[in-house]
Amino acid sequence: MKILKSAVLWFTSIICGILTLTGLCSMPSSAGLLSFIIPAILLNPVIRKLAAKKKFYIKKSTTIAAVIAPLIITIVFACIFPAQTDKENTLTTKTSSAIKSATSSSETSSSSAPAQSSSQTTDTATESSAPASNAKLKVHYLDVGQGDSEFLELPNGQTMLIDAGVQERGAGIVSYIKGLGYNKIDYIICTHPHADHIGGMTEVVNSFAIGKIYMPRTSSSDTPTTKVYKNLLSAIKNKGLKINTAKSGVTVVDTGSLSIKMIAPNGTNYGDLNQYSAVLMLQYGNIKFLFMGDAGNVSENEITANVKADVIKVGHHGSKTSTGASFIKKVSPKYAIIEVGKGNSYGHPTAQCLKRLQSVGAKVYRTDEYGTIIFTSDGNVITVNKNASSIKENAP
């Protein structure tokens, strides 16, 4: 009987201890802490027993007063400083958002959205389809000359890099992303293994902590034998990373309000590397971004997913065999971004492509005219910042 009583005492004591620790971790104010610590000590059966043995008997009325007083202090404190308590709570639980607010140096002046300091929540509403009102998505269409590279700051605090231009731009891309305050890239997408898309990726892989890498699987006859491709494969291997296959149906991110899904390639053998391009549809709240890589008409015609989007990164630098009339009509974008080098030898973007974009009323932004272009969205409104810095060759 005595053993049982002692066991019950210790069990109650441990439960009290756990409750105290939970209280310590969750209460932001000192008054809150008091309300947990004092009753926990006074009500702890082991402590009470020891006190009784040593004749320091604690009166019942003292105990009740000591339990009630901190609780009253807490309630009063919470009524007087409700906002402050909230803020402290946010700071303790959302520490990883700190890196985010320190980063962006290029906020658009036309932005009507609220200032982003103390804003970005790190866990974007996994339970709701509406985004948190102040979490921002930022898409940087990097000016890498003739080639593609898009860096995404996702509203859930993660990052994504789609392509990395030619090899000579690698160092510049690395310093651009580091300049935003990041040391890790959560998702790397190599849309297809052409030098103007994967050239700079080796430098990126060697310079950051990397989460996942996606690349399409090409047929054996289409698999490149180029040096840039081999260099990238060995950089990935040396880092102990594996390549995830990029293909239609792959979900890269899905947190409720934010989803990034691949809607191409749908085939496995094209005889043209461009058609293997990973095509991504990003949806954040009510806003959709489509990233085409170098996909052309062949791939466009195979896509069965809904392609309606607010913003499109135009396929294959605006070549005449991409952005088909029926396809772009289905997309009906408000904005179209063309990543292209000034005076390139390919004649990109072509007059035909520009005309098709014009026919659906898309506002066209070209990196050869505006430099790096940054789109920001809260899931409802899009703001555009042009004339951002370009990624120089062999930078920094």
Binding residues (CB under 5 A) for Zn ion: these are 196, 294
Give, as one character, the DSSP assignment of residue 133: T
Contact 310, 341 (CB under 8 A): no
Least gap, CB of 178 to Zn ion (angstroms) = 25
Tokens coding 83? 């906002």
Gap between the Cα atoms of 179 and 99, Å rounded: 12
Q: How many CB atoms lie within 10 A of CB 343?
A: 7
- 186 versus 294: smaller Cβ distance to Zn ion: 294
**203 contacts 173 by C-beta, under 8 angstroms:** yes
- For the record, the structure tokens of 102 come out as 């320190």
- Tell me which residue has tokens 């505006």: 370
315 versus 333: smaller Cβ distance to Zn ion: 315
In angstroms, the CA 27 to CA 319 distance is 59
Q: CB nearer to Zn ion: give 143 or 196.
A: 196
Identify the bridge partners of residue 137 per DSSP, sorted by sequence position.
Answer: 377
Nearer to Zn ion, 147 or 379 (CB): 147
* Smallest separation (angstroms) from Zn ion to the CB of 169: 13
Q: How many CA atoms lie within 13 A of 287 on its CB side?
A: 21
Q: Residue 197 Cβ, how far from Zn ion at the closest point, in Å?
A: 5
Q: Closer CB to Zn ion, residue 82 or residue 347?
A: 347
* End-to-end Cα spacing for the chain: 78
Q: Rounded CA gap, 205 and 226, in Å?
A: 18
**Nearest distance from residue 195's CB to Zn ion, in Å?**
9
Query: Which one, 293 or 379, has the nearer CB to Zn ion?
Result: 293
Strands of 84-148 (E only): list them. 137-141
Return the number of the residue (339 or 378) whose C-beta is nearest Zn ion.
339
In angstroms, the CA 139 to CA 120 distance is 15
Q: Which residue has the tokens 């004092």?
A: 38
Nearer to Zn ion, 222 or 294 (CB): 294
What is the three-state SS of 297-341? HHHHCCCCCCCCCCEEECHHHHCCCCCCHHHHHHHCCCEEEECCC
Q: Which two tokens stand for residue 23?
A: 């209280």
Provide, rounded to whole angstroms, the least separation between the CB of residue 266 and Zn ion. Answer: 20
Give the nearest distance from C-beta 359 to Zn ion in angstroms.
24
- Least Å from the CB of residue 173 to Zn ion: 15
Q: What is the DSSP letter of 292?
A: -
The helix/strand/coil state of 258 is: strand
- Residue 311 Cβ vs Zn ion, minimum distance, rounded to whole Å: 19
Minimum CB separation of residue 87 from Zn ion in Å reads: 47
Burial (CB < 10 A; 0-12, 13-18, 19+), residue 11, is: exposed
Nearer to Zn ion, 196 or 300 (CB): 196
133 Cβ contact partners less than 8 Å away, ≥ 6 residues apart: 378
> 142 or 180: whose CB is closer to Zn ion?
142
Minimum separation from the CB atom of position 118 to Zn ion (A): 40
